[in-house]
Structure 1
Amino acid sequence: MTRSRALEAIRDYLQQHHTRQVVTLNPEMLMMARRDPDLYSAIEQADLVTADGAGLLVAGRLLGLALRERITGVDLVPDLCRLAAERKEAVFFLGAGPGVATKCADSLAAAIPGLKVAGSHSGSPSPAEEQSICRSVNAAGTGILLVAYGVPAEEKWIARNRQRLDVKVAVGVGGAFDFIAGRVPRAPRWMRGAGLEWVYRLWKQPWRWRRMMALPHFLALVLAQAVRARLT
């Protein structure tokens, strides 16, 4: 799956009239899904799953899978907004910290001519707020819903509310709003190209080290599976 093919699929979804879920999958999320049945179900039932993480590309090569390009949430958001402007679809920005979604939306609206912002709301993944948030999203005439509650909350939130939402595409975008709003610096381009963005994020956000411990476990499982495949 390449970014252009992913956008082609999403372009098709925008011509339809039921909610499609897009998941940007990384190794950490995959390891979480082994212990979280709701997250596993959300990933399994998603309409489109992209590889967000260099670890998945490495795993793909070892296992002979056609994972050709890393497609991150933060890279996908501007692409989706350009597509929305082209298709005259409104985009709703949901999640992140107070004011971050609005700042992200304003930044993209300034950069992308014709982008219509349906609304922005920090909100909460709490089930108690779901009904009112869905009403607001639907009332705004939203075509694309970007959800930045973080993994695994955003994937499970979208999966729980697909029947309530009157949008065409809903995507969990992780920390994309923080990057685009300038709240969190992104790794230099050379580090991203070398698959080392996770090192930069760990340096800037050392509290993430516990979450990063999933990566060695993931690679160990992949190597074990690759060895078994070669022996059979």
Structure 2
Amino acid sequence: MSDIRVLIIDDDFRVAGVHRDIVTGVRGFTALEPVRTAAEALCAVRADTPDLILADVYLPDGDGIEVVRSCGVDAFVLSAATDARTVRRAFRAGALAYLVKPFDARTLADRLDRYARYRNLLSDAAPLTQDQIDRAATAMRGAPDQASVSRSATERTILGALADGEASASEVAERSGISRATAQRHLTALASRGLVEISLRYGTTGRPEHRFRLADAAG
């Protein structure tokens, strides 16, 4: 079976490079040359026929979700946007997954592994049974488990740290007495569940800093 071909759409070449390296590191996947704009993405879809696209929302010349809607290719949306309207719009456009930036490599690798199982379960040319369809949906979304339902002690500590106000991952780590990597991983998970919101703070130099704060519904 040939590798699953993945097109990455992101105007930040450094982020695109990181995501390309993650894709390349997952067995059975090949990363195509990343593109930066909606126009380049549509051209690449026609020319390179990817099996899966990883699309940022905010592109210099348009909206990544509209690219997902119009290209007719399986897609994940990867974005720092955590507002419910954007997430709903991504799923209405046909996105199979929505990953909140920044995320660690294991998060994307896990979604790619799920996608490979999903494709395999839906590869049979014969009519599918309801059981096969349900299994494919479960493979893509992941079966719910107790760990995802209840908040871990670390997550409770992080939410308590954010009760003191907006903070970066490093500041949350310092307040909580954990490593920055651990704080970043749990903050990303909390954001994906709508308990934490992410914003960007632009400084005078370098990349913008991600800032985290409690969502209104988190308590």
TM-score scaled by length of structure 2: 0.38
Looking at both structures, which has the greater relative contact order when contacts are Cα pairs under 8 Å and sequence separation is at least 6? 1
Greater fraction of residues in helix: 1
TM-score scaled by length of structure 1: 0.36
